[in-house]
């Protein structure tokens, strides 16, 4: 009898809609307007890098009307993609000055593709260079990024043929910025785009702008940046200042997020500054302008990187883990990172289970922390609700609390949560440093998405 029963077709429920529509719950993260830096133009063009993509943009181009200072941070994965190698070499040869553009394709990572991959990335940069008058390809003035499936070659002729079209479509409108942000997406469910204005102490009457876009929803765990990110500003910042400015910000933003613990072969975050708004150059981070710019950029990159976590593949939770009263920032960051990538912590959060033992376990096995940083009888763990109500103590100075499971369940019903780990100052009780990480949970859908990624 059972042989006569026809099996039902398997139905997959994906986080990213195949029609590229943005789910209602995610629309609040997509800006309706923006204020973008002077002198920067962008475009998003359809190429069809993946044969299944019939009309969505998958080639992004950002260009400045004048040469820029530039800095970037790259993946530390030993299998570094061709665009990473080419872009790093270009910045080195130019000492971070005279950069004009960034070109990005989605749909193919151009990673682990040998000599041909390097040639393809070089060709993309040089083709963009020839669009400028005069051409700027000795050395190249274009950064290259790619994202998508590893181990496949780019349909390079299709991409090169589309670059002049992309250059011709460059625009400064909000819709162009949004389309460009969409062009770098892969499994993302919404484009990640932010912009803001600011002033500096030395030029209080001058309005500067900062814009950024990022892509990433999976294979996200920092070891430099994570994912792809493009930042640009019209403030006057030379490369000698730009590089440490970006590095400091990345440590506290893109290097402080995790979705699945995997570090990509292609991770790159780049920052361009063209000085188009005028004013006094920021030559030192210790100056009033430098300190203000550091605070502005760090806050901005934190907001942008957190959008990646909110779009984590299959995620239902957005979690901040805050480790306080540590003897050093580095140790606090290591502990926060360990908690953020623990599969047991992430699955407990998905199941709305206040299993604080898993959090404590991750604190205890964190490697690389100095002796005396973690003292069990000084350590406390709590949930901090987003509604402003009192935090729920789970462990206080090494002693377990009688947890109100009903209240814990209500707290875990919310999308947002803060986990607070207080190290009590460590041995001696004098530690006052803290660090935060932002991460999401693991769901059934994460497995579905990544099990079917290449199909």
The DSSP string of 14-69 is -SS-TT-PPPGGGGGGS-S-----TTEEEEEE---SSTT-SSS--EEEEEEEEEEE
Sign of CA dihedral 242, 244, 249, 254: positive
127: its two tokens: 């083709």
C-alpha span between 131 and 27 (Å, rounded): 35
* Contact between residue 84 and residue 51 where contact means Cβ atoms under 8 Å apart: no
Helix (H/G/I), strand (E/B), else coil: 124: helix
Give the active site residues: 226
Where residue 136 falls among pLDDT bands split at 50, 70, 90? confident
Contacts of 305 (CB under 8 A, 6+ apart): 214, 226, 229, 253, 254, 256, 257, 438
For residue 333, CA distances in Å to 58, 336, 435, 436 come to 35, 5, 5, 7
* Contact between residue 233 and residue 245 where contact means Cβ atoms under 8 Å apart: no
Helix (H/G/I), strand (E/B), else coil: 444: helix
64: its two tokens: 């400045």
How many helices (H) and strands (E) the chain has is answered by 11, 15
Write down the pTM of the prediction: 0.86
Task: Report whether pLDDT(126) > 60.
Answer: yes
Check residue 138 and give its pLDDT: 76
Task: Report whether pLDDT(68) > 80.
Answer: yes
C-alpha span between 76 and 281 (Å, rounded): 31
Where residue 455 falls among pLDDT bands split at 50, 70, 90? low
User: Of 195, 38, 165, whose CA–CA distance to 103 is shortest?
Assistant: 165
For 326-339, write each residue's pLDDT tens digit.
999 999 999 999 99
HSE of 213 in the Cβ direction (CA atoms, 13 Å)? 28
C-alpha span between 70 and 420 (Å, rounded): 37
For 232-283, write each residue's pLDDT tens digit.
999 999 999 999 999 999 989 988 887 544 444 567 899 999 999 999 999 9
Biggest alpha carbon–alpha carbon distance for the chain: 84
3: its two tokens: 């042989």
Check residue 237 and give its pLDDT: 98
Check residue 217 and give its pLDDT: 56
Check residue 16 and give its pLDDT: 46
* Contact between residue 162 and residue 129 where contact means Cβ atoms under 8 Å apart: no
């Amino acid at each position: 009898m059972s042989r006569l029963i026809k099996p039902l077709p398997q139905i997959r429920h994906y986080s990213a809609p195949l029609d590229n529509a943005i789910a209602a719950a995610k629309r609040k993260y997509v800006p309706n307007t923006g204020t973008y830096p002077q002198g920067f133009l962008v475009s998003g063009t359809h190429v069809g890098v993946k044969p299944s993509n019939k009309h969505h943009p998958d080639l992004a181009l950002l260009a400045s009307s004048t040469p820029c200072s530039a800095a970037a941070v790259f993946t530390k994965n030993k299998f570094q993609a061709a665009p990473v190698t080419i872009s790093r070499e270009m910045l080195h040869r130019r000492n971070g000055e005279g950069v004009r553009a960034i070109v990005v394709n989605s749909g193919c990572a151009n990673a682990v593709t040998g000599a041909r991959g390097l040639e393809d990335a070089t060709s993309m940069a040089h083709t963009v260079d020839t669009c400028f008058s005069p051409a700027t390809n000795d050395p190249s003035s274009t950064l290259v990024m790619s994202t998508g499936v590893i181990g496949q070659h780019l349909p390079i002729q299709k991409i090169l043929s589309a670059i002049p079209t992309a250059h011709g479509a460059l625009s400064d409108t909000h819709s162009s910025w949004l389309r460009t942000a969409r062009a770098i997406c892969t499994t993302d469910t919404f484009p990640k785009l932010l912009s803001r204005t600011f002033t500096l102490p030395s030029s209080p009457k001058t309005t500067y702008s900062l814009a950024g876009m990022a892509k990433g929803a999976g294979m996200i765990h920092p070891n430099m940046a994570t994912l792809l990110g493009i930042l640009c500003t019209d403030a006057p910042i030379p490369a000698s200042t730009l590089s440490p400015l970006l590095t400091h910000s990345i440590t506290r933003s893109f290097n402080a997020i995790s979705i699945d613990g995997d570090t990509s072969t292609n991770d790159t975050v780049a920052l361009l500054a063209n000085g188009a708004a005028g004013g006094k150059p920021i030559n030192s981070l210790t100056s009033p302008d430098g300190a203000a710019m550091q605070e502005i950029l760090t806050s901005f990159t934190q907001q942008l990187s957190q959008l990646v976590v909110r779009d984590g593949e299959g995620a239902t939770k957005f979690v901040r883990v805050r480790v306080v009263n540590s003897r050093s920032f580095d140790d606090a960051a290591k502990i926060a990172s360990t908690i953020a990538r623990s599969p047991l912590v992430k699955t407990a959060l998905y199941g709305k289970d206040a299993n604080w033992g898993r959090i404590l376990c991750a604190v205890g096995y964190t490697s690389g922390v100095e002796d005396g940083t973690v003292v069990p009888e000084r350590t406390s763990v709590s949930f901090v609700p987003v509604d402003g109500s009192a935090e729920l103590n789970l462990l206080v100075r090494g002693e377990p609390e009688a947890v109100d499971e009903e209240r814990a369940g209500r707290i875990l019903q919310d999308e947002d949560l803060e986990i607070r780990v207080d190290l009590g100052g460590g041995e001696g009780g004098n530690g006052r440093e803290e660090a935060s990480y932002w991460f999401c949970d693991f769901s059934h859908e994460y497995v579905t998405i990544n099990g079917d990624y290449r199909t």
